Amino acid sequence: MTDELRDTFFAESEDLLAAMGEGLAAMSDGTAETETMHAVFRAVHSIKGAAGAFALSDVVSFAHSFETVLDAIRSDRLVPDADVMRLLQRSGDILADLLEAARDGRSDPPEALGAILEALEELAGGEDLAEEDFVFEPMGLGMSFLADDAPAQPKLFRLHFRPSRQFFHNGHEPANLFAALSDLGEVTVACDTTGLPRLEVIDLEESYLAWSLTLETEAGEDQVRDVFAFVEDLCDLEVEEMPRFAMGILPLIDLPEATDTAAEDVPAEEPQAAPAPTPTTPPVSVPTPPTVKEAPRPTLRVDLDRVDRLINSVGELIINQAVIAQKVAEAGLPPSSGLAAQVEDLSLLARDIQEGVMLIRAQPVKPLFQRMARVVREAADATGKQVDLVTEGEDTEVDRTVVEGLADPLTHMVRNAIDHGIESPDDRIATGKASAGRLLLTASHVSGNVRIVIKDDGAGLNRERIQATAVRKGLIPADAVLSDSEIDNLLFLPGFSTAASVTSLSGRGVGMDVARTAITALGGRISITSRPGEGTTFIISLPLTLAVLDGLIVAVADQPMIVPAAAVLETIRPSSRDFLDLGQGERVLNLRGTHVPIVDVASVLGYGPVVDPSQAIVVLVRTGEDTRAALAISGISDKRQVVIKSLRGNVGTVPGISAATILGDGKVALILDPDTLVGMAARRRDLHSITTFEAGHEHAD
């Protein structure tokens, strides 16, 4: 079997698994329609069918058991109560595991396979699981030419064959059967036309003829009958083995009024050979397909590499266009030349192309959310908690890299929410909550960004313990006075892990800092809010596309850098009285009565001495849901869309920097990550050292 075909199979299986998961989810929450059940059944059934072609016997036999239970449900022999639905969900997971193992060439069975299989078989109970014993070898088709046990001595068979009307209706041809017989040995054919009525009363659909045949063959009777396997009920057939008189003597006897004819002559005699429609049956119009309720829009499957090559080229085009724009501006052409306007048009066109191309990569978050459904089930099982997952906005589209890159952080956060957030059923009832916790997962587009919210209705963060942990780990001074929001954000510090309850579930050696790093790497931000007794909410905000970003081009120690425009609230040229000196060189910006911490970007990045704030320009950025910071820089030159170039592949993670871009002059400019910059500055203040922070970041790559 070729690799390409395998790829097709596994890609198709993924689609089918997604359809199955969707259907099962709808069944669980009661929104299923009749068709849903059938679609789920078909998905599993199709996987089984195709898996057989690759001799994936584990997949086939599991899918078979799974399908048997689904069949019982769709034919109302089994009621899909909550327990059954749970089993079906788990079965779906196992099927996915088996396929994944098959794809990766692993043979280790999923842990829960045995138990789930047993449960399925128990449910199937009366169903005939064993009846269809699955044969993984391709089945014989009833026309075997192999005659292992055939005796060397040829046998003589006599056959009487009279096809029924249905025989012809089903597309059979007597001549084809005779030809098949002739593969087994020597055949003689005699047609019995005695049944033919007078020409004027002939019904062209009716069968009037019969045949007598002899066959001299080394094959057994079974093989002879096999030739007629498809027409068993569509004809009268007698097969008898004749005693042998002598080799070569063919007893053509007992055929009164029979006309000898050769096999190839037969079709000409057959009634159905007449092509004209019969007068007795009025012509039926060509079958027209019934209207489909909602035809899926045609789609195109394209190799991802091709799309990415296109995206890269478009990225180059935009850079190139920026270079041209800059050169045109520098050339100082008179406005009457119109060149500047043309360049502007070019730039708009390039943007259009880019947006179009990026849309090709856009995917709904649905598969990601579906994966989380599984994570929730597993985590709930492992902790003995009850959790209802509610998802919204599954059709929200994001770049496929985001879908892929979010899988790990989301998994971690969902596990965390169940492990640490949602209480045990007893505890919940004791505090007047429903015994099952609720985990809300939503995706939406908010002002040019994609927002993903993970919200639980659990106990909320234990701030006392978080602060104690941070102190014990030396992340903050023992006497630090922190706001609730600052405490919550300690969770994101590298090296922080709520060690008081490291469980097999969420305490896998990675903390929220890894989740945050992953999200930052996607150009996104994450924030947290929590209310004691009411639960915790994480909000992830991501750019729509990963290829371009609206940015402010600023100067930091003479180096051009980019501040993502999405984070910018306003730009200010403050006068010296807007600064408040807190002592020890610490200053805050007095902004209409509120105090905002100042981050000297050049100094935090180690580029040079502290900028004199009175000479600085301040970019006010959002750093959390309701926190702000003032980035002090030495100038702003432009605001424009820039093409994002990842640093991760060739360079690695750089503290305070999320990515790079290439400016009109071909130079590389770094894109600032305001959140980590603020964190870096805060840590310089609090610890008078940034070493811990850097150490943490080195491991994050």
The total of other beta-carbon atoms located within 10 Å of residue 609's CB is: 9
Minimum CB–partner distance for residue 42 and another protein (Å): 5
By C-beta, is 317 or 362 nearer to another protein? 317
Contacts for 112-119: CB closer than 8 Å, 24+ residues apart? 113/62, 116/87, 116/90, 116/91, 117/62, 117/65, 119/87
Minimum CB–partner distance for residue 164 and another protein (Å): 11
Quote the CA–CA distance of 280 and 200 in Å, as a whole number.
Answer: 12
By C-beta, is 475 or 672 nearer to another protein? 672
Minimum CB–partner distance for residue 658 and another protein (Å): 12
Give exposure, 480-507, as e/b (b: 16+ Cβ within 10 Å): eebeeebbbbbbbbbebbbeeeeeebbb
3-state secondary structure of 678: helix
Spatial CB neighbours of 508, under 8 Å, sequence gap ≥ 6: none
Minimum CB–partner distance for residue 292 and another protein (Å): 5
Token reading at 647:
């640093």
By C-beta, is 6 or 377 nearer to another protein? 6
Quote the CA–CA distance of 229 and 232 in Å, as a whole number.
Answer: 5
Minimum CB–partner distance for residue 403 and another protein (Å): 22
By C-beta, is 234 or 422 nearer to another protein? 234
By C-beta, is 171 or 248 nearer to another protein? 171
By C-beta, is 421 or 664 nearer to another protein? 664
Minimum CB–partner distance for residue 342 and another protein (Å): 24
Please report which residue ranges of 362-481 form alpha helices under DSSP H.
Answer: 366-383, 400-416, 425-430, 463-472
163 sits in which H/E element: strand 155-163
Minimum CB–partner distance for residue 124 and another protein (Å): 15
Minimum CB–partner distance for residue 315 and another protein (Å): 7
Comparing CA positions, the residue from 558, 640, 549, 563 lying closest to residue 329 is 640
Q: What is the DSSP string of 106-120?
A: --PPPTTHHHHHHHH
Fill in the amino acid letter for 354: Q
Q: Residue 380: phi, psi to the nearest 5?
A: -65, -45
24 sits in which H/E element: helix 3-28
Spatial CB neighbours of 440, under 8 Å, sequence gap ≥ 6: 390, 391, 392, 453, 454, 455, 456
Quote the CA–CA distance of 188 and 181 in Å, as a whole number.
Answer: 10
Q: What is the DSSP letter of 516?
A: H
Minimum CB–partner distance for residue 61 and another protein (Å): 12
The C-alpha torsion from 470 through 455 and 398 to 620, rounded to 10°, is -50
By C-beta, is 54 or 382 nearer to another protein? 54
Token reading at 544:
């729509």
Token reading at 379:
């985590």
By C-beta, is 590 or 646 nearer to another protein? 646
Minimum CB–partner distance for residue 305 and another protein (Å): 16
Place of tokens 């980590």: 676
Minimum CB–partner distance for residue 282 and another protein (Å): 9
By C-beta, is 98 or 398 nearer to another protein? 98
Region for 105 from its dihedrals, namely left if φ exceeds 0, alpha if ψ lies in -120 to 50, beta otherwise: left
Token reading at 208:
């009037």
The total of other beta-carbon atoms located within 10 Å of residue 529's CB is: 18
By C-beta, is 85 or 204 nearer to another protein? 204
By C-beta, is 64 or 428 nearer to another protein? 64
Comparing CA positions, the residue from 252, 261, 162 lying closest to residue 207 is 162
Measured at the alpha carbon of residue 295, what is the angle toward residues 292 and 296, in degrees to the nearest 5? 150
Token reading at 474:
């030396």
Minimum CB–partner distance for residue 52 and another protein (Å): 4
By C-beta, is 81 or 148 nearer to another protein? 148
